[in-house]
Structure 1
Amino acid sequence: MDTKQKQFRFLNWVERAGNRLPDPSFLFISLTFLTILASAIAAYFNLTVTYEGFNEETETIETITTSVNNLLSLDGFHYMVTHIIDNFTGFFPLGTVFTVIIGVSITEGTGMLSVLLRQIVSKTPKALISGMVVFLGILSNVASSTGYIVLLPLGAIIFLVSKRHPVSGLAAAYAGVSGGWTANLLIGSNDPLYAGISTQAANILDPNYIVQPTGNWFFMIVSTVMVTLIGTYITDNIVEPKLTTYSFSSTDTIETITDNEKKGLRWAGFTFFIYILLIGIMTVPENGILRDPETGSLIESPFMTGIIVFIMLMFLLPGIAYGVGEGSITNTHDITKLMSDGISGISNFLVLIFWAAQFTAFFEYSNLGTIISVNGAQLLTNIGFTGLPLLLLFIIVAALTNIIMPVDTAKWAMMAPIFIPMFLQVGLSPESTQIAYRVGDSVTNVITPLMPFFPMIIAYFQKYDKKAGIGSVISTMLPYSVAFLIGWIILLSTWYLLGLPLGPGAPVTT
């Protein structure tokens, strides 16, 4: 048996084992009840942890003692029965998905999206499609979680019209968006937040140390190339060959663009140009109305805070213009119907998200994630590793922690005050500790069922494979996770040994 057959045999076993799990909705129901029971047991044994943590309200490092909140206590019971609706309506993916779908449903329903993709596919060599999808996924994380909502379905459609399995396109997009979270050519909306937390943690030992948002920029640029190459190889040589044959319909062909479609594209292109021009007027000047009114920053600004709305409008306005020009939109009723059809297409997602929201909220309320993570961090501290082995071990700890607590900045706010001062004492810069954490946090994003967007990923998989379940998603994405981990370990080790700066003025060691 050759290596590839052994790989497929292992991945098939992972898929079968995972698919024996209950339906995703019932799995989240089970996890919710398990969390309730675990909180009661942990509270009975009075489990607590004490650590130096970042207080977001006071923006200072404080000694924090955290104990378990018993969900079976009277207070816990009151919390559960009074927060179920709020847990659902306040769950981040719900509002963002709905908002963007309103715009995407217009571009998809009018056929504009299909026409654009046909153009892209017709002009892109087949050998470059996988790399293009992974690369676009990486770039999309500059606007936080936008890529999950916009690029994942687009990746599947791009592969579909290329006569390639849509699940492999979905996997490539997911690998870029989620697995490539620590790569980009640009500074994203999360970088200033990471830098602020790291600065506070470094100030425990050095009150004058400042971690800049660009502290990991050089490493992120090189990581973009690495993730694109690895993601392309895994998609073409492991993921797609493993998938069963997909039955393409007659509509899955790249047809010649009609005169009406060309007219619609011209109208959409003009509308898009005007929209981008207006956005530029409001963001490019230092006194632009969408910049931060006090600092003039664009990274922390109304524009970045409201990026989901601007993404929605970027699809909505050209989509309407296309429909009017092409003839598929003749009145306002057509627009409303297209929006309704788009929302109805994610009904499975609504059921999944309801129960995922309850589990996530109950798990956070119980403080079980904090206790597990802090105890694991303290265990690592007691081992006493230094230098490169310490960084590499920290990557593994961050990767494993991310599986049970996949909220990147929340974990960093908890872990930074522990690890940055400790690593500083053995000569590792805060920027090194930060990038090691971000690498570990990225590589298991694609395989953790606790990721807030995971129910949406399952729904997309099931759109093209009715039998797909949690095991299908994990087995498909596992090769990306392992390959990214190996690639980043090699890259960080090389960076460390060569003593290259991680960003402008950001050395590996102090």
Structure 2
Amino acid sequence: MSSSRMRGERIRRGAFTRFLNTVEWLGNLLPHPVTLFALLCVIVVVASGIAGALGVSVADPRPANEGEWIAVNSLMNADGLRRLVTEMVTNFTGFAPLGTVLVAMLGVGVAEHSGLLSASMRALVLNRSPRIVTYAVVFAGIMSNMAAELGYVVLIPLAAMIFHSLGRHPLAGLAAAFCGVSGGYSANLLIGTVDPLLSGITQEAARLLDPAYVVGAEANWFFMIVSTFAVTLIGGLVTERIVEPKLGRFDAAYAEADIDSQQMATLSATEKRALKGTGLATLALVAGLALLVVPEWGVLRHPETGLVSGSPFLSGIVVIVAVSFSLLGFVYGRLAGTMRNDRDVIDAMSRSMSSLGLYIVLVFFAAQFVALFNWSNFGTVIAVAGADVLESLGLGGPALFALFILMCAFVNLSLGSASAQWAVTAPIFVPMLMLMGYAPEVIQAAYRIGDSVTNLITPMMSYFGLIMAVAARYRKDLGIGTLVALMLPYTLFMLIGWSLLFFVWVFLLGLPVGPGAATHYTL
């Protein structure tokens, strides 16, 4: 590379780094995340009162509610106060991620404090290329979506530990895993639980024009398989070229006291022997689970359909993970001499729970904000209003799809549920784009891009608090701005790269996005 090109490259990198530093600085001007969520609660109540008084509303796009309007509900009244007072506790205890995290961490705590996670991690990455580790972490994050929230609870903290053990910045590992788990939410090599959920909504929207139209769960499978490798590549490159250089060298002085700053040690003979024994126990455990799931009479299959989809096995995967980690952690601990009895297991669980103090406090206020935001109808009104604006522009083809993806990405910042957002926008955009000649399967694939990429930078994402708590272990003064600036490069490059893949796939090559899925639609 010539000196002028190298100088230009340094200038571009420097400008982008200054941009991220500005984002971080602006974001960190915000108060502590707990305080921020408390203030947001107040803002939602006041804003809902103003919007309610002004009669802010949008036409309900759902066919069953034709002619009806969705209005902002005022919470600045006696009914709002009564609801907040009576439901504040259930808002907290019913916040979905809370139970998932607590149950999973019981098992993960045993595996961590017995030394199983540390030994397994060192066995996996010892003498491996750092680049392979980076891409493996992103890929594992994408694939972890098959196991519900396992990626958030287990993989993201583990990835930070892996990078730290390799002498790399742990926040780079956290960012790479977060990119795969949340940014690559819709990509996978296999059909996951989100596929039938979205396809059902798409089918109902498509039947507004074609009452016989069928959209299967496999509607986007081909595109999502290729997207898995595209997201892995983008995530790995952003981690190594942008995020890790910006983070620099990890300084343990800014981390919690229990973070070990030493480099990764080689496995001892005792640890190797314990890992072999745990490996045999893992095979036995997998065989036992297979007997409960694989045969048609398996008790963990769906009791009515007999399928694995929607089965107790998938819906209870967090419990299975917690029990598995507990058993295997204890087996390893006994063989390695780090655990002797049930008291050691209970102590490990207690220590794991004690590390979640900040997360539990954050969740309490975040749960109140999410509940208030949902009660006010702000999310739905914003989604419908944005869809109306996009429809009114009168654009067609790639330009319309580009704006559609951008709109979905923007709405996702405030309406975090993929199914809730699609239930509102699908009845508008699926029929509209079908009339313009595009199949519902293609429209759904475009929606999934926008719905995924901004998961990384929105506090409305259910597990954002958990990510903050894990990241704070390695940087005590970490604020929302730091985390958003850390993840913003992934959002930007994934939005560009994934959208380009979509445009090449659909508009240039005309390939089907799934088995038997049409690219174009004609009445």
Say whether the fold is shared (TM-score over 0.5): yes
Structure 1 position 257, deviation (Å): 2.0
Residue pairs, 1:256-335, within 5 angstroms: 256-335=266-345
Residue pairs, 1:301-450, within 5 angstroms: 301-450=311-460
CA contact 2:168–2:249 (8 Å) conserved in 1? no
The letter for the 2-side match of 1:185 is L
Helix, strand or coil: the match of 1:246? coil
1:113 & 1:8 partners in 2: Cα distance? 34
Counterpart of 1:108 (choices 87, 103, 112) is 112
Deviation readout 1:343-397 (Å, 9 max, x if unpaired): 1011111111110010000000110111111111111112222222221210000
Residue pairs, 1:196-275, within 5 angstroms: 196-247=200-251, 252-275=262-285
Residue pairs, 1:170-181, within 5 angstroms: 170-181=174-185
Deviation readout 1:140-180 (Å, 9 max, x if unpaired): 11223321111110110110111100000000000011111
1:244 & 1:479 partners in 2: Cα distance? 16
Does residue 27 of the first structure (1) align with residue 36 of the second (2)? yes
CA contact 1:172–1:235 (8 Å) conserved in 2? yes
CA contact 2:334–2:340 (8 Å) conserved in 1? yes
The letter for the 1-side match of 2:77 is S
CA contact 2:23–2:485 (8 Å) conserved in 1? yes
Counterpart of 1:75 (choices 67, 75, 79) is 79
CA contact 1:110–1:322 (8 Å) conserved in 2? yes
CA contact 2:91–2:367 (8 Å) conserved in 1? yes
Deviation readout 1:19-56 (Å, 9 max, x if unpaired): 110000000011110000011001101122222338xx
Helix, strand or coil: the match of 1:171? helix
Counterpart of 1:46 (choices 49, 55, 59) is 55
Change (3 A) 1:250 1:152: closer
Helix, strand or coil: the match of 1:446? helix
CA contact 2:97–2:463 (8 Å) conserved in 1? yes
1:309 & 1:459 partners in 2: Cα distance? 22
Match of 1:145 in 2: 149
Match of 2:100 in 1: 96
CA contact 1:499–1:507 (8 Å) conserved in 2? no
Deviation readout 1:255-297 (Å, 9 max, x if unpaired): 2322332332233222211111111111112232111122122
1:483 & 1:470 partners in 2: Cα distance? 20
Deviation readout 1:71-107 (Å, 9 max, x if unpaired): 1122111111111110111111110000110010001
2:313 & 2:59 partners in 1: Cα distance? 38
Match of 1:8 in 2: 17
Match of 2:520 in 1: 509
CA contact 1:198–1:416 (8 Å) conserved in 2? yes
Does residue 166 of the first structure (1) align with residue 177 of the second (2)? no
Change (3 A) 1:348 1:283: same
Helix, strand or coil: the match of 1:412? helix
Change (3 A) 1:222 1:61: farther
Match of 2:509 in 1: 498
Helix, strand or coil: the match of 1:403? coil
1:72 & 1:99 partners in 2: Cα distance? 36
Change (3 A) 1:105 1:444: same
- TM-score of the aligned structures, taking structure 1 as reference length: 0.96
2:249 & 2:101 partners in 1: Cα distance? 30
Helix, strand or coil: the match of 2:69? strand
Structure 1 position 123, deviation (Å): 4.4
Match of 1:120 in 2: 124
1:43 & 1:251 partners in 2: Cα distance? 54
Instruction: Structure 1: state its 5+ residue gaps.
Output: 55-59
Helix, strand or coil: the match of 1:7? helix
Deviates more, 1:257-266 or 1:277-286: 257-266
Match of 1:57 in 2: none
Does residue 132 of the first structure (1) align with residue 117 of the second (2)? no
Helix, strand or coil: the match of 1:186? coil
Structure 1 position 416, deviation (Å): 1.0
1:95 & 1:83 partners in 2: Cα distance? 17
2:65 & 2:215 partners in 1: Cα distance? 15
Deviates more, 1:162-171 or 1:123-132: 123-132
Change (3 A) 1:61 1:311: farther
2:147 & 2:346 partners in 1: Cα distance? 28
CA contact 1:143–1:189 (8 Å) conserved in 2? no
1:403 & 1:271 partners in 2: Cα distance? 43
Helix, strand or coil: the match of 2:61? strand
1:418 & 1:305 partners in 2: Cα distance? 31
CA contact 1:35–1:363 (8 Å) conserved in 2? yes
The letter for the 2-side match of 1:301 is S
Deviates more, 1:130-139 or 1:453-462: 453-462
1:453 & 1:32 partners in 2: Cα distance? 18
Helix, strand or coil: the match of 2:62? strand
Match of 2:69 in 1: 65
Deviates more, 1:474-483 or 1:460-469: 460-469
Change (3 A) 1:64 1:89: farther
Does residue 187 of the first structure (1) align with residue 185 of the second (2)? no
Provide the alpha-carbon RMSD of the alignment: 1.5
The letter for the 2-side match of 1:161 is S
Structure 1 position 64, deviation (Å): 5.2
The letter for the 2-side match of 1:240 is E
